Amino acid sequence: MPVSAERRRPRREPTDGKDQRASRRTEGVVPASQRVDPYKAFKFLVEIDGIARAAFSEVGGLETETVVIEYRAGGEPTTVRKLPGLTKYANIVLRRGITQDRDLWNWRQTVIQGNVDRRNGSIVLLADDGTEVLRWNFFHGWIAKWEGPVLNAKANEVAIETIEIAHEGLELA
């Protein structure tokens, strides 16, 4: 059954020359924000005393922790207060393919001989184009542990050495 002409609503023309339906479709619509992707973890370099050492295949131990001290006085309610205690920094773990470069080995030997050589350094995260995006600086570091490669005649892998740098502070610069 066709709708009679009397029952149809007359089409109103906009008074200001704008399409009212288009404006209703866009009302309340939030404009799309620019997408921000997280950084990729595979492009980085390590600097120790300002000397870039990009040959590391893995970095770990960028970690801080503040110990929680629980305290309660006898006259207080049954809840425990939580206070910040000492802040600790995890050792920075660096892994790389072993080469003829003996700088890290020699640095470790100074510690073994009792002459701790403390150095500052940085872990630098790079964007795809190689520009610096984040930098973690560590302070007063020394090699606390060196681990040589696992050698296996049946393996088809690169010989990896691992070092752990103990340090006294970490900042995100």
pTM beyond 0.75: the answer is no
> What count of other Cβ atoms lies within 10 Å of the Cβ of residue 149?
14
The CATH fold assigned to 44-172 is Pnp Oxidase; Chain A (2.30.110)
* Per-residue model confidence as pLDDT tens digits over 99-133: 888 888 999 999 999 999 999 999 999 998 989 99
Q: Does residue 142 contact residue 111 with C-beta atoms inside 8 Å? A: yes
Q: Does residue 168 contact residue 89 with C-beta atoms inside 8 Å? A: yes
* Per-residue model confidence as pLDDT tens digits over 151-162: 999 999 999 999
Q: Does residue 123 contact residue 44 with C-beta atoms inside 8 Å? A: yes
Mean pLDDT of 27-55: 78
Name the phi and psi angles at 103, rounded to 5.
-60, -45
